[in-house]
Amino acid sequence: MKKTLIVGTVAYDEIETPKKHSGKILGGAATYIGLSSALFSSQASIISVVGGDFEPSFLELLKSKGLNIDSIEIISKGKTFYWKGKYHKDWNKRDTLSTQLNVLADFNPVVKKEDTYSEIIVLGNLHPAVQNSVLSQMRSKTKSVILDTMNFWMDNSLQELLKVIKQVNIIIINDEEAIQLSGKDTLFAAATEILKMGPEHVVIKKGEHGAMLFSEKEFFTTPAYPVNKVEDPTGAGDSFAGGFAGFLSQSKDLDFETLKLAVVHGTVLASFCVEGFGTSKMEKLNKETVEKRFKEFKKYTRY
């Protein structure tokens, strides 16, 4: 079992879909990454920050899943990061109605000594400067750094982001962002370009259309697990990253065959995520349910 460190937001989300309005609920990249990876590993720590307004039961929930929450700082006078978004009938489009950074604005992550030796590091979507700060504190000899990022940082902090990308082993990115980051117009060309920026592997997520894995010499493609009914896409990308990292944390080698399986487990975890509102489905998952869907999915794609 590889020790895993997850850095990302633990937050309040408010979600509107055509059918439902969530009110203020548990959200955040590190939350979804943690809930997913906890299904594979019991040695993951989360580094994050919340405000005094943060519901203690949410922290307890993460802890109950086996996640180490000692590095989730609570700033009692501050307010928790808050995001409000609205989805339309076409799930692929969403509007951000509100983003309140609150305590995240001054987030300066400190990696506890025991976590500096983590072998898997998941940099959830955050300011690249924060991601860089975490990387500079790491002391693990052999490590796999997995980066999740988004177009917002490409638009606003590209140089800092490129510094992070140079240091990571695996970048997970969606199709549009891969095109934007690379300046190329096909996913193959984009992946080839991004590989030149530093990572040994590029994972391109295509939402309901699956994912692709690229290395300099190898390639893998998978459709997505077919979800019957999408309830809420929030957290799907983070759940993918968490499933991906979780699978790696329990694997001996990190060769291409293992990475393929990590991608498939990522798509399986993302498929569960979208079937529930917010984290609801992710909270109820267990290893057996995940394994069952993995096998079912394998059957659906084999010939």
Which positions touch a second copy (CB under 8 A)?
Answer: 89, 185-189, 206, 209-210, 212, 219-223, 226, 228-230, 257, 260-261, 264, 298, 300-301, 303
Q: Is the dihedral of CA 188, 193, 196, 197 positive or negative?
A: negative
Which one, 10 or 191, has the nearer CB to a second copy?
191
Which one, 195 or 230, has the nearer CB to a second copy?
230
CB of 299 to a second copy, least distance (A): 9
Tokens linked to 34:
């943690």
Concatenated DSSP letters for 72-98? Answer: EEEETTS---EEEEEE-SSTT-EEEEE
- Integer distance in angstroms from the first to the last C-alpha of the chain? 32
CB of 206 to a second copy, least distance (A): 7
Which one, 34 or 210, has the nearer CB to a second copy?
210
Which one, 66 or 223, has the nearer CB to a second copy?
223
CB of 180 to a second copy, least distance (A): 15
User: Comparing C-alpha atoms, which of 133, 120, 170, 114 is closest to residue 49?
Assistant: 133
Burial class of residue 255 (count of CB atoms within 10 Å of its CB; 0-12, 13-18, 19+): exposed
CB of 246 to a second copy, least distance (A): 16
CB of 192 to a second copy, least distance (A): 10
φ and ψ of 70, to 5 deg: -60, -25
User: Comparing C-alpha atoms, which of 57, 51, 61, 44 is closest to residue 1?
Assistant: 44
Which one, 12 or 214, has the nearer CB to a second copy?
214
The C-alpha atoms of residue 201 and residue 215 are separated, in whole angstroms, by 5
The answer to whether 94 and 87 have CB atoms below 8 angstroms apart is: yes
Which one, 57 or 228, has the nearer CB to a second copy?
228
CB of 263 to a second copy, least distance (A): 8
The answer to whether 39 and 285 have CB atoms below 8 angstroms apart is: yes
CB of 64 to a second copy, least distance (A): 32
Which one, 104 or 264, has the nearer CB to a second copy?
264
